[in-house]
Amino acid sequence: MATMAAEEVEETLGLFTGIGLSEAKARETLRNGALSALLRRAVLQARSALGPALDKATGTLLYNTATRLKDPKHLGFLVGYIARREILTDLQLSAALEYVRNHPLEPLDVADFERACGVGVCITPEQIEEAVEAVISKHRAELLAERYHFNMGLLMGRAIVPSNRDSPGAKVVAFCISAPAEAPPGLGTAPCSWGALSVGEARNQLRWADGKTIKNEVDLQVLHLLGPKTEADLEKKPKVAKARLAPAEKQKVAVVENVTAGPASELGPGSCDQGAQPHVPAGDMGTETPSLLEQLRGEALKFHKPGENYKTEGYVVTPNTMALLKQHLAITGGQVRTRFPPEPNGILHIGHAKAINFNFGYAKANGGVCFLRYDDTNPEKEEEKYFTAIREMVEWLGMARDGEGTIKLGARDAPAFRSCCWAFRAPPTCSISPILTGYQPYAVTHASDYFDQLYTWALELIRRGQAYVCHQKVEEIKGHNPPPSPWRDRPVEESLLLFEDMRKGKFGEGEATLRMKLVMEDGKMDPVAYRVKFTPHHRTGDKWCIYPTYDYTHCLCDSIEHITHSLCTKEFQARRSSYFWLCNALDVYCPVQWEYGRLNLLYTVVSKRKIIRLVETGAVRDWDDPRLFTLTALRRRGFPPEAINNFCARVGVTVAQATMEPHLLDACAREVLNEQAPRAMAVLEPLKVTITNFPAPKALEILVPNFPADESRGFHKVPFHQTIYIEETDFREEADKGYKRLAPGQPVGLRHTGYVITVQNVIKDVSGHVMELEVTCTKSDVAEKPKAFIHWVSVPLSCEVRLYERLFLHKNPEDPSEVPGGFLSDLNPDSLRVVHNALVDSSVHSARPFDKFQFERLGYFSVDPDSEEGKMVFNRTVTLKEDPGKA
């Protein structure tokens, strides 16, 4: 209302306070231009019918109408009913608003509208008494048994809430609907008549009764039946203990500020929250949270149902909308359809994992399908390796889930993995190979599949006067306030001819574009639909030298594939208006775009350009360097797909951008790997130990459980020989206070062997460095219990171990205020340490790339693809969760 004159502001302020708003609330409303304009119209219309003095109840109804009405064209219609006293309660108003939302096209069926919101229906005290009596009679036995511990809200609900579940043979009661003796002027009434109606119909009539009156009647009749409360009635009912979840079933959440899934108003169209970007510390991991499928199932997000696009705030309804939605439902059968549309010009990163989980997860949770669609409209930057890597990562994340459960694959479960059935069957239009049950693309498509149709629609857009050929240079139309195009109003036929010349290659790159005639939400004028690029396309070759933009392609591809929910991150909110505009300009099915918050991690960069710089400068080896947070890098480092999916579930679905600490992802990995990674023993800094009284002439075989907490999951054998190797750090010549491991005079136990060793001799080199220990062993059942047990290897395999730390020193390496020299100046010089001569027990000899193990006392490790016969390479995924009291 900034353009209002001072007098008009004061007048409007008086209108608002005149309906009962406080001055502070009235001024707050004035600051919202759209709302204040609607409310002003509503108040003036009501005053013209009722006079200048409006009671507070009427004012509240008017204010609620202005704030909750989605389509302003119905404002006058609804205010008329309020002014005529035909809508008297907020309950009726809610029903009226719901009705007009469900019937977006005019004219409305007035009789049907009035039935839907109780116009003219008056409920007498006798009717309320009779209905409550019937409900209490139905629950009489439970009431007498539970007395005042019975859920009285159930009685209220039974008396008020309409029901359509009663069978034709439901119990019949008689009641009278009548108008009060003196109805207010203009109040519609129903004729008084006795009739036979089912209980369900009685409830439907009582829907419009005053809730307080019904509660009073319930309380009165319950008191008459049970009498006053006794001491036993006043005692609190004991809580029923909830069944505890097994560890593998638990989902835990970190401490997240303003990031948890919120009400419907916080998600989707109309949500403009660009505010705080919550930071999630590595905090409490103990609070249970719903799984991602539970968060996405049914109406959890209050998304529209298929075919009910028009119920979404901001959705544009045209005269042909309902017919197009009817055709859409005939094609999809009411199925939920989503899509994951990556650009094949880089590798997917952790943020994409949220998008994959959201799109595939929402479809899966609601019995729908998800398309994998490559947005391949920029041939200059697209490479086949990106197509392949994207598909691999989608399938890899999908392998983690099987319905509600999880496919748990450990290194020693490989036969089970190979015997899993291949469940996916591709539809005729699908170009995907079979994958394990999980996140399965319904079809793999490409924007380029639709280039012919997109071109045809571009011609139609020009014919309809909604697009034109422009010759402004790229630098001229950049920014938010570029000069208007002098070619905006050129004749349609001229634009058609010039667009054909663009297609034939008669214009150079940058000399001509096709622009659409609209203003986007961020104020940008006339976005580009097509531009000239003399670059062969990897799929269409040199057929085209004009390529569509994201703004033109995205919504139309969604329309072609009959997507129901186009889920994208918040930065695309500014493109929502062009999304709706373009579909409606061409008169084709218009999906709904819903936005959610991005997922970011601290201590990393995910920008394609910046990762390329890291690779080019040799800071990292490639896109799959385990120090990065691309999905290929996380897989190479050893993160299970379940851990990444669980991480996304804990972040939740939110509009606000979530900035997460890597610790939460690490915690998710530990939780999954603890259940999936079989145990092995490895020594990074070997110290030779000779057992001088070894109890056998040759090596013994020791059975070691794959999962010590659950020995039913099997064992593996490791040799136990006279010569073993322990960690150099597990021995000290002098034991400090609190030190519990091996030292002269301080024995230590060897894990899994049943033996305790005691130092007899320390052998050093000329420099005084300890080279070898000579020890004796004693069976643990006769030896004094040692203070600690250590791991060891014997007859081991030599291997290389890569230990990773954070790639960057600061939380926000791209923030100039934290890192003035740029992200390349913030590299951690100790982000990688390679141990070339580590030793690992022989149980891992048949492991393959990406197999995972827990090296006892060291952490979780994964076999790297660089492994060769005779020289295995392991990447440390995460360390073990440290016990503060452990030495």
Catalytic positions, written as ranges: 343, 598, 608
| Residue 35 backbone dihedrals phi, psi, to 5 degrees | -65, -45
Q: Give the CB-side neighbour count of residue 644, counting CA atoms within 13 A.
A: 34
In SS3 terms, 587-631 reads as CCCCCEEEEECCEEECCCCCCHHHHHHHHHCCCCCCCCCCCCCEH
Cβ of 165: how many Cβ atoms within 10 Å? 6
Q: Which amino acid is at 92?
A: Q
Residue 880 DSSP SS3: coil
The answer to whether the beta carbons of residues 393 and 632 sit under 8 Å apart is yes
Nearest to 273 by CA among 570, 32, 658, 651: 570
Stated length of the chain: 887
Element (H, E) at 131: helix 125-138
With tokens 């994340």, the residue in question is: 397
| Residue 826 backbone dihedrals phi, psi, to 5 degrees | -105, 10
Q: Give the C-alpha separation, 477 to 492, whole Å.
A: 22
Name, in order, each residue with C-beta under 8 angstroms of 290's C-beta and a sequence gap of 6 or more.
251, 649
User: Beta-strand (E) ranges in 337-475?
Assistant: 337-340, 369-374, 401-402, 405-406, 441-446, 467-470
119, burial (CB in 10 Å: exposed 0-12, middle 13-18, buried 19+) = buried
DSSP state of 728: G
With tokens 């790297």, the residue in question is: 864
**Whether the bond into 107 is cis, omega within 30 of 0:** yes
Name, in order, each residue with C-beta under 8 angstroms of 326's C-beta and a sequence gap of 6 or more.
307
Cβ of 222: how many Cβ atoms within 10 Å? 18
The answer to whether the beta carbons of residues 339 and 371 sit under 8 Å apart is yes
Q: Give the CB-side neighbour count of residue 274, counting CA atoms within 13 A.
A: 8
With tokens 């800071």, the residue in question is: 619
Q: Which residues pair with 862 in a beta bridge?
A: 852, 875
Q: Give the C-alpha separation, 673 to 852, whole Å.
A: 8
User: Beta-strand (E) ranges in 715-855?
Assistant: 715-720, 723-727, 748-750, 755-764, 770-779, 789-790, 797-804, 832-840, 852-855
Q: Give the CB-side neighbour count of residue 505, counting CA atoms within 13 A.
A: 8
Q: Give the C-alpha separation, 649 to 652, whole Å.
A: 5
In Å, how far are 144, 168, 219, 665 from 148, measured between CA atoms? Answer: 9, 33, 11, 48
DSSP annotation string for 514-555: EEES-B-TTS-BS-EEEEE----BTTTBTS-SEEE-HHHHHH
485, burial (CB in 10 Å: exposed 0-12, middle 13-18, buried 19+) = buried
With tokens 């108040």, the residue in question is: 43
In Å, how far are 67, 726, 728, 761 from 749, measured between CA atoms? Answer: 72, 12, 16, 18
